[in-house]
Chain A
Amino acid sequence: MSAGEKKMLTLTETTCGTLLNELQIIWDEVGESDAEKDIMLLELERECLEVYRRKVDQANKCRAQLRQAIADAEAELAAICSSIGEPPVHIRQSEQSTGSLKAELRAILPQIEEMRKRKSDRKNQFIEVNGEIQSIKNEIYGGGCASKDAAVNETDLSLRKLEELHIELQALQTEKCERLKHVHEYLNYLYLGCSVLGLDFKQTVSEIHPRLGEPEGKDISNGTIEQLRTAIQRMQEVKTQRMQQLQDLASSLLELWNLMDTPIEEQQIFQKVTCNIAASEDEITEPGMLSADFINHVKAEVSRLEELKVSKMKELVFKKKGELEDICRKTHLIPESDNAVDLAIEAVESGAVDASCVLEQIELQISKVREEALNRKDILEKVEKWMAACDEESWLEEYNRDDNRYSAVRGAHLVLKRAEKARVLVNKLPAMVETLASKTTTWEKENGVYFTYDGVRLLSMLEDYMTLRQEKELERKKQRDQKKLQGQLLTEQEALYGSKPSPMKNQSAKKGTRLSCGGAAAATGRRLSLGGNMLQTPRHDMPPPAKATPVTRNAKKSQRTTHDSLKDDGFQTLSSGRRGLDLAGLPVNQQSREIEFPSPMMRKPFSPISSTDSSRSNATNILGDINQKHNEMLQKMLTSNNSTTPFTTPSKTIPTAEAENIIMPQAASTRSTTLPIPMHLAMTPMQKPVSSATLQMAAITPAKAAEEEIEYSFEEKRAGFVLPRSHLVNLMMQV
């Protein structure tokens, strides 16, 4: 005890002693009895004790409180430790601890504080993770099971639990990722499908979930995925269905094209349809390929083709029907089921029956009819002949009745010929009918049916014809008898009145003349039309054929040319008179002999030969001998002329010729027109070697005569080309 406390004690003892002393004094003064004094002192003593007791209680209570606080703190600490899952850091070392309670409490409080902080931290972590998990779960399972787990279980905030939560979160996150991927896949698939089907992708998707269409924030809930799946399934169903439809259409398209030979250009438009005909569902990826519009488009094409086909089929049916009728008509059969065919065609037109069916039917009929026709052909041909003969017969009758039949109209000779033939034919008719009848009966026996011709039995036709013929025969006989009677009457008359009129004789005379001139006219007319049109065109450059020359001129010419041929002039042999000889049938030899006459003059180009020729011939006609001399003179002049200059130019004219031309220009022109063709034609064939040899002789003579007279072309002359001497020698050798 320190001096201070002692002092205080002493101080309090002093104060109590003093106070008691004071009381003693007071009491003594007051004179209190001792009893009183005792009581009073007892009371004082009791009261003091009371105060002590109270204070001790109070201290005791405080100590208990402290102990309680420490225990509480320790409990809390333990609780926190256990919840965090940490070993209790602060296991009570109270036994060891010797510190006061207050110190103990003071030591434990910061620990608690720290642990509390740690716990709240941990709790925050938990809340965070939980929140995330919750949000993902929300996304996945929808908002239904929300915020149930939001409150964190405070009792277990251990790291392990946190780990578990983290694992859960991760799992959820991967799931979310996966789902997103799925959704994307589905959406992709949907997009492709929509494009193929021609649907609006955005609309389809937003029907499933309004947010699916947006690029971000896709919904991945179970419901959405399920919906997507069903949507895809639905789409696939639609796609399959449409594909089926399209492929059906495509196959019918192909069929129709094939059937109708549709041009490639038309096919090209639908090529992409038909190329997918065997494609599986996945292979059809072209946008809009299966859209309703496109399918409708194809459908329209198919129906158009279908219509076309129907109309073509109809056409075909009509054509076939026509063919059938044609064959029937040709073979003179009555088409047996004409009505049936008509009915069938009506049915086709109304669309009740398939045209192909009817077509087949008609085809069958056609083949049947064809077969029948083949069977009947033999007899039919005979019938045809018979018919023709009958026609001829009736024509002949008509013709025989025509009084003017022998008049010389154009083509009368043809009619005459026809009549002649017809008579022969008519004579053959009975035999023809007989064979036909016998053939027909055998045919009928073989086939067991009547042979009909245009629906009439042929045998009855033949019979009718025979009876008719017999009737006619009778009639004719009657007529003949009548005529005979008339003749008799006439002779009787003649005996009575003199000579009988003979119209027959007159007629025949007339007929004769007419015929001859008519025939001539016809003949010339025909010839003219065959080759003589040259004659009609009055031209000088084209020689007319000989036959077309008028007779008068011909005569004149032949006269003239006989004159000519007497003379010593090779050119004259060209004249038409030669032709006359030809026609008269003189041997070729003679012709060649005529040609043989050596030409007195080597004819040079550009000397107007025909005019000199003609002038000469004219001259002989008119002037006779004088002119011949004149001619010789002229020839001499020409040859001299030739020897000096190689050419006589076309513009140069020979004065003598000119003079003579004035006399007979007309004759000259006619000569020139009749000059050439037949002459040349007679020359070329060269059937006789003799004639050709002589011709060669004629051609070569000048060469023999003089070197100067070798012919040269203009080019040779210009080039100064001269044949070497050997050539001449060769020529001589050849001759």
Chain B
Amino acid sequence: MASAPPPSTGRELLSPPTDGISNLRFSNHSDHLLVSSWDKSVRLYDASANALRGEFMHGGAVLDCCFHDDTSGFSASADHTVRRLVFNYNKEDVLGRHDGPVRCVEYSYATGQVITGSWDKTLKCWDPRSSSGQDRSVGTYTQPERVYSMSVVGNRLVVATAGRHVNVYDLRNMSQPEQRRESSLKYQTRCVRCYPNGTGYALSSVEGRVAMEFFDLSETGQSKKYAFKCHRKSEAGRDIVYPVNAIAFHPIYGTFATGGCDGYVNVWDGNNKKRLYQYTKYPTSIAAVSFSRDGRLLAVASSYTYEEGDKAHEPDAIFVRSVNEVEVKPKPKMLPNPAS
């Protein structure tokens, strides 16, 4: 752990959720931040103004949320519902229901569809534009296991489920997965996020490890993949391993940040296989991270993720820090050291 931690953790947002934060995301159009929480709410913050702009209450814990455009978004709730939230009018309506708690929600700009993954072992696509009277479900696709994480890039959708399954879909043909894979990591998948350039995805597990995978199935394509350890603590020769809860790619440089239950956020350069930066330790586990649209801001949800069950923990908090270019810009490769 080479770099000395910088002093600050960034600006803490006022009026944070009152229970565990399940996800947060920056808008693609502004510095607005959408936060879903176990306190059954979805909140909209203006990160640059540090102000709460809206709050939506749900019937159950909200496990995921995402933006539609700058004025509306979607949420996935443990009460089996998928909701559409309109920020301007503080209005919400139910897009549809799953048979189980809905774990993740993604909006695809390529198809204009909302995709949700649930613990009922299905994936559902929704058309948010059709009127509320009719069934907005476009399709239901059975998954081998409960969906734990999803990510969309372009026309690709990567679904990670329990049992370490990974299904890669082409959104234009959802009838069956384009690729059926198994996680390269041996332990439960925590998070999957596609590379912004659309060539692959990063997958993290509960056992302090991140795998970098590629869609290209050719030998040369697959030869590029690798995995690395992170979010571990070496104490007196013992490694303490923490789950890696969150991955967020920088929209410009393609580098990415990971957040773990050790309370650290690390920034990595996947191409050069280097860690670029480690931020100061946050009070508790990192539940989610997100870069703003221009990559100048990084939102960090420091919120206990119940990895050790119900116990006393630090209060849930959202930190927004401005990102220095040095922290995220890939560094040119070092010359090989002749000494070794």
18 pairs, A vs B, C-beta closer than 8 Å: A525-B338, A533-B336, A535-B340, A536-B340, A539-B275, A603-B186, A605-B241, A607-B241, A609-B241, A610-B239, A611-B238, A647-B307, A661-B236, A677-B228, A684-B213, A700-B163, A711-B163, A713-B162
Residue in A550, A605, A611, A692 whose beta carbon sits within 8 Å of that of B188 in the complex: A605
B326 contacts chain A at the CB level, 8 A cutoff:
no
Residue in B78, B228, B241 whose beta carbon sits within 8 Å of that of A543 in the complex: B228
Query: Contact at A647–B238, with CB atoms within 8 Å?
Result: no
Residues in chain A near residue B238, CB distance under 8 A? 608, 611, 653, 657-658, 661, 668
A215 contacts chain B at the CB level, 8 A cutoff:
no
A142 contacts chain B at the CB level, 8 A cutoff:
no
Residues in chain A near residue B334, CB distance under 8 A? 533, 536-537
Residues in chain A near residue B305, CB distance under 8 A? 714-715
Min distance, Cβ B244 to any Cβ of chain A, angstroms: 11
**Known A608-B241, A647-B309, A683-B182; further 10 A-B contacts with Cβ < 8 A:** A533-B272, A539-B275, A541-B228, A606-B240, A650-B261, A651-B240, A657-B238, A681-B222, A686-B181, A713-B162
Residues in chain B near residue A608, CB distance under 8 A? 238-241
- Known A609-B207, A699-B164, A719-B78: A681·B225 in contact at CB below 8 Å: yes
A-B interface, 3 closest residue pairs, ranked by CB to CB distance from nearest: A665-B237, A680-B184, A605-B206
The residue in chain A whose Cβ has the minimal distance to the Cβ of B233 is: A650
Min distance, Cβ A714 to any Cβ of chain B, angstroms: 5
Residue of A608, A609, A685 contacting most chain B CB atoms (<10 Å): A608
Residues in chain A near residue B101, CB distance under 8 A? 719, 721
B274 contacts chain A at the CB level, 8 A cutoff:
yes
A723 to B305, CA, bound (A): 21
Query: Contact at B308–A683, with CB atoms within 8 Å?
Result: no
A-facing residues in B207-252 (Cβ within 8 Å): 207, 209, 211, 213, 222, 225-230, 232-234, 236-243
Query: Contact at B237–A714, with CB atoms within 8 Å?
Result: no
Query: Contact at B239–A676, with CB atoms within 8 Å?
Result: no
Query: Contact at B227–A680, with CB atoms within 8 Å?
Result: yes
- Known A539-B275, A692-B182: A525·B336 in contact at CB below 8 Å: yes
Query: Contact at B211–A528, with CB atoms within 8 Å?
Result: no
Min distance, Cβ B261 to any Cβ of chain A, angstroms: 7
Residues in chain B near residue A715, CB distance under 8 A? 22, 63, 103, 305-306
The residue in chain B whose Cβ has the minimal distance to the Cβ of A528 is: B336
- Known A533-B272, A672-B229, A695-B182: A716·B38 in contact at CB below 8 Å: no
Min distance, Cβ B29 to any Cβ of chain A, angstroms: 29
Residues in chain A near residue B206, CB distance under 8 A? 605
- Give the number of residue pairs across the A-B interface with Cβ within 8 Å: 167
The residue in chain A whose Cβ has the minimal distance to the Cβ of B219 is: A685
Residues in chain A near residue B184, CB distance under 8 A? 680-681, 683-684
B-facing residues in A10-57 (Cβ within 8 Å): none
Min distance, Cβ B61 to any Cβ of chain A, angstroms: 6
Bitwise interface map of B from 313 to 340 toward A, beta carbon under 8 Å scored 1, else 0: 0000000000000000000011111101
A-facing residues in B149-200 (Cβ within 8 Å): 162-164, 181-182, 184-188, 190
B148 contacts chain A at the CB level, 8 A cutoff:
yes
A668 to B238, CA, bound (A): 8
A1 contacts chain B at the CB level, 8 A cutoff:
no
B146 contacts chain A at the CB level, 8 A cutoff:
yes
Query: Contact at B227–A676, with CB atoms within 8 Å?
Result: yes
Residues in chain A near residue B45, CB distance under 8 A? none
Residues on B lying within 8 angstroms of A by beta carbon are 2, 20, 22, 38, 61, 63, 78, 100-101, 103, 119, 121, 146, 148, 162-164, 181-182, 184-188, 190, 206-207, 209, 211, 213, 222, 225-230, 232-234, 236-243, 261, 272-275, 305-309, 333-338, 340
Residues in chain A near residue B188, CB distance under 8 A? 605, 711, 713
A131 contacts chain B at the CB level, 8 A cutoff:
no
Min distance, Cβ B132 to any Cβ of chain A, angstroms: 27
Residues in chain A near residue B240, CB distance under 8 A? 606, 608, 650-651
Min distance, Cβ A707 to any Cβ of chain B, angstroms: 14
A534 contacts chain B at the CB level, 8 A cutoff:
yes
The residue in chain A whose Cβ has the minimal distance to the Cβ of B149 is: A713
Query: Contact at B333–A533, with CB atoms within 8 Å?
Result: yes
- Known A536-B340, A684-B225, A711-B162: A662·B241 in contact at CB below 8 Å: no
Query: Contact at B275–A605, with CB atoms within 8 Å?
Result: no
The residue in chain A whose Cβ has the minimal distance to the Cβ of B61 is: A719
Residues in chain A near residue B186, CB distance under 8 A? 603
A184 contacts chain B at the CB level, 8 A cutoff:
no
Query: Contact at A605–B226, with CB atoms within 8 Å?
Result: no
Residues in chain B near residue A649, CB distance under 8 A? 308
Min distance, Cβ B178 to any Cβ of chain A, angstroms: 15
A542 contacts chain B at the CB level, 8 A cutoff:
yes
Residue in A647, A684, A718 whose beta carbon sits within 8 Å of that of B222 in the complex: A684
Min distance, Cβ B42 to any Cβ of chain A, angstroms: 16
A529 contacts chain B at the CB level, 8 A cutoff:
yes
Residue in B222, B309, B337 whose beta carbon sits within 8 Å of that of A646 in the complex: B309
A717 contacts chain B at the CB level, 8 A cutoff:
yes
Residues on A lying within 8 angstroms of B by beta carbon are 525, 528-529, 532-537, 539-543, 550, 603, 605-611, 645-647, 649-651, 653, 657-658, 661-662, 665, 668-669, 672, 675-677, 680-681, 683-686, 692, 695-696, 699-700, 711-719, 721, 723, 727
A721 to B209, CA, bound (A): 26
A649 to B241, CA, bound (A): 10
The residue in chain B whose Cβ has the minimal distance to the Cβ of A534 is: B273
Residues in chain B near residue A717, CB distance under 8 A? 306, 309
Residues in chain B near residue A681, CB distance under 8 A? 184, 222, 225-226
Min distance, Cβ A378 to any Cβ of chain B, angstroms: 39
Residue in A529, A542, A605, A647 whose beta carbon sits within 8 Å of that of B336 in the complex: A529
Query: Contact at A669–B335, with CB atoms within 8 Å?
Result: no
Residue of B236, B272, B336, B338 contacting most chain A CB atoms (<10 Å): B336
- Known A605-B188, A672-B229, A699-B163: A716·B241 in contact at CB below 8 Å: no
Min distance, Cβ B150 to any Cβ of chain A, angstroms: 14
The residue in chain A whose Cβ has the minimal distance to the Cβ of B339 is: A536
A26 to B52, CA, bound (A): 178
Residues in chain B near residue A603, CB distance under 8 A? 186-187, 207
Residues in chain B near residue A680, CB distance under 8 A? 184-185, 211, 226-227
The residue in chain B whose Cβ has the minimal distance to the Cβ of A574 is: B186
Residue of A537, A605, A712 contacting most chain B CB atoms (<10 Å): A605
Residue of A607, A650, A683 contacting most chain B CB atoms (<10 Å): A650
Query: Contact at B237–A721, with CB atoms within 8 Å?
Result: no
A529 to B338, CA, bound (A): 10
A608 to B222, CA, bound (A): 30
Residues in chain A near residue B242, CB distance under 8 A? 606, 650
The residue in chain B whose Cβ has the minimal distance to the Cβ of A612 is: B238
A700 to B20, CA, bound (A): 31
A717 to B310, CA, bound (A): 10
Query: Contact at A542–B61, with CB atoms within 8 Å?
Result: no
Query: Contact at B306–A716, with CB atoms within 8 Å?
Result: no
Query: Contact at A677–B227, with CB atoms within 8 Å?
Result: yes
A683 to B163, CA, bound (A): 15
Query: Contact at B239–A541, with CB atoms within 8 Å?
Result: no
Residues in chain B near residue A532, CB distance under 8 A? 336
A681 to B100, CA, bound (A): 34
The residue in chain B whose Cβ has the minimal distance to the Cβ of A542 is: B228
Query: Contact at A541–B119, with CB atoms within 8 Å?
Result: no
A536 to B187, CA, bound (A): 29
Query: Contact at B239–A605, with CB atoms within 8 Å?
Result: no
Residues in chain B near residue A719, CB distance under 8 A? 61, 78, 101
Query: Contact at B227–A540, with CB atoms within 8 Å?
Result: no
Residues in chain A near residue B38, CB distance under 8 A? 718
Residues in chain B near residue A537, CB distance under 8 A? 274, 334
Residues in chain A near residue B340, CB distance under 8 A? 528, 535-536, 550
Residues in chain B near residue A661, CB distance under 8 A? 236-238
Residues in chain B near residue A650, CB distance under 8 A? 233, 240-242, 261, 308
The residue in chain B whose Cβ has the minimal distance to the Cβ of A712 is: B162
A541 to B234, CA, bound (A): 10
Min distance, Cβ B65 to any Cβ of chain A, angstroms: 14
